[in-house]
Structure 1
Amino acid sequence: MNLDFSQIVPYIPFMLEGVWVTLQFVIIAIIFGFILGSLISLVKISRFTLLKWLADFYTSIFRGTPLILQLLLIYYAVPQLTGYDISPFLSAILTFGLNSSAYVSEIIRAGIQAVDKGQREAAEALGIPYRPMMIKIILPQAMKNILPALMNEFITLTKESALVSVISYLDLMRRAQVVSSDIYRSFEPLIFVGLLYYAMVMVLTLIGKYVERRMRASD
């Protein structure tokens, strides 16, 4: 087999640096997507028909089109339409955050609606306002049920982050391509970067399982 991993040794620090570069925008996008998705989910279960329709339309757009198309539209369309030269980093955050919020909103909505209706009725009977009821009673119960689905969404987001290489953002995948063009070998840098992605996903999986156990133990 024509393999020579020794050729990528000088490039290992360069590729390892891509882990933090990738995690930077992924973490921000996850936080942004979670906050926005939570707000959208509350709109979806509200009594305002127009807002519910807009929230559903927003979700259908981001769930019904390819992520790479959304990324390219934001990266290329924003400068064309507004004259603002958006950076690859900001494009990545916006695209992945907006896309994730659409999925997160559906996950949280389903979790809220899965909570026993008697909980809400009891809170309303006690005169508890809507906002404290959602924050202190409904959402904590919903979070316990939807945590695995949320972690799965965050893991998917981490893996799909490789798409930002198409807009020349120096993430892990882009760095593997740079090394490949330097040494004229693709397999070795791609395998190395693949192992780094796998390690990140495994860490996220372990964190998710740990948090899930803690939440169950607190019941």
Structure 2
Amino acid sequence: MDFDLIRQNLPFLLQGAGMTLKITALSLFFGVLLGTLVALARLAPLKWLSALALAYIELVRGTPLLVQIFLIFFGLPQLLQQPINEFLAGVIAFSINSSAYVAEIVRSGIQGVARGQTEASLSIGFSPTETLRYIVLPQAFTRVLPPLVNEAISLLKNSSLLSAIAIVELTRSGQLVASRTYKPFEMYLAVSVIYLLMTLLLSFVARRMEARWQVR
């Protein structure tokens, strides 16, 4: 085991880890925004809108993430007739993929809020929009925090797929060093440890947030 090799290349690996965290954070942010809209559409009284949201969820969840990445990176430029940046393609693909899972998470959280609270809010003069914004969604998001953290961890680990379109995230950084040094075991071991530390950190932060907000 060449620990000196790991030490020498650790800054480069950490730089790749920074890219991984950046993509994960941006994708989760946009995934939550889009997923919330899809969840609201899924719960809408309009049947066609609910059916459209369900079709979107099933389509995204029913196709491989790697195929979605290739579709955005290679297919979207063909439609737009202009190239697209690798980083942007990765964030778009991950945001779309995440939104389908977030939509189901948020939907279950909204449905988990007692209906009596909605009725009480409407009875004291809140509009349906105000009830959703001030009463339902805040409670729903505290309830769905644990599964949202799990989604963040999944995004973090799945970011390794972005090495297929040459984004120099953590896995790609390890690949580049391994191809140069011909010592893949040390590099992929180091990459695995860094992934593990990042996921443990996310889990720790989630537990602290759950304890602080008394999520049940």
Question: Per the shorter chain, which TM-score range?
Answer: over 0.9
* 1:49-68 → structure 2 map (5 Å cutoff): 49-68=47-66
Q: Does 1:4 align with 2:6?
A: no
d(CA) in 2 for partners of 1:65 and 1:46? 25
> Once the two structures are superposed, what CA deviation does each residue of 1:125-184 show, in whole Å capped at 9, x if it has no partner?
222111211121111221222111111111111111111001000000001000010011
For normalisation by structure 1, the TM-score amounts to: 0.94
> Once the two structures are superposed, what CA deviation does each residue of 1:99-149 show, in whole Å capped at 9, x if it has no partner?
101000100101111111111111222221112111211112212221111
Deviates more, 1:112-121 or 1:137-146: 137-146
Deviation (angstroms), 1:81: 2.2
CA-based RMSD: 1.4
Q: What is the SS of the residue equivalent to 2:144?
A: helix
Deviation (angstroms), 1:31: 0.4
Unaligned runs of 5+ in 1: none
Query: Residue 180 of structure 1 aligns with which residue?
Result: 178
Deviation (angstroms), 1:58: 0.7
Query: Residue 22 of structure 1 aligns with which residue?
Result: 20
* 2:150 counterpart (149, 152, 155): 152
Aligned residue-pair number: 216
Letter in 1 for 2:180: D
* 1:34 counterpart (32, 35, 50): 32
* 1:130-145 → structure 2 map (5 Å cutoff): 130-145=128-143
Letter in 2 for 1:126: I
Query: Residue 206 of structure 1 aligns with which residue?
Result: 204
d(CA) in 1 for partners of 2:194 and 2:180? 20
Query: Residue 122 of structure 1 aligns with which residue?
Result: 120
Deviation (angstroms), 1:23: 1.2
> Once the two structures are superposed, what CA deviation does each residue of 1:3-44 show, in whole Å capped at 9, x if it has no partner?
323233322211111111111111111100001111111111
Deviates more, 1:177-186 or 1:133-142: 133-142
Letter in 1 for 2:78: Q
d(CA) in 2 for partners of 1:33 and 1:11? 33
Deviates more, 1:8-17 or 1:129-138: 8-17
d(CA) in 2 for partners of 1:140 and 1:74? 33
Query: Residue 159 of structure 2 aligns with which residue?
Result: 161
Query: Residue 196 of structure 1 aligns with which residue?
Result: 194
Unaligned runs of 5+ in 2: none
d(CA) in 1 for partners of 2:209 and 2:10? 32
Q: Is the 8 A contact 1:8 1:189 kept in 2?
A: yes
Deviation (angstroms), 1:47: 1.1
> Once the two structures are superposed, what CA deviation does each residue of 1:73-109 show, in whole Å capped at 9, x if it has no partner?
1111112222221111001100110110100010010
Letter in 2 for 1:165: S
Deviates more, 1:134-143 or 1:61-70: 134-143
* 2:111 counterpart (110, 113, 137): 113
Q: Is the 8 A contact 1:79 1:85 kept in 2?
A: yes
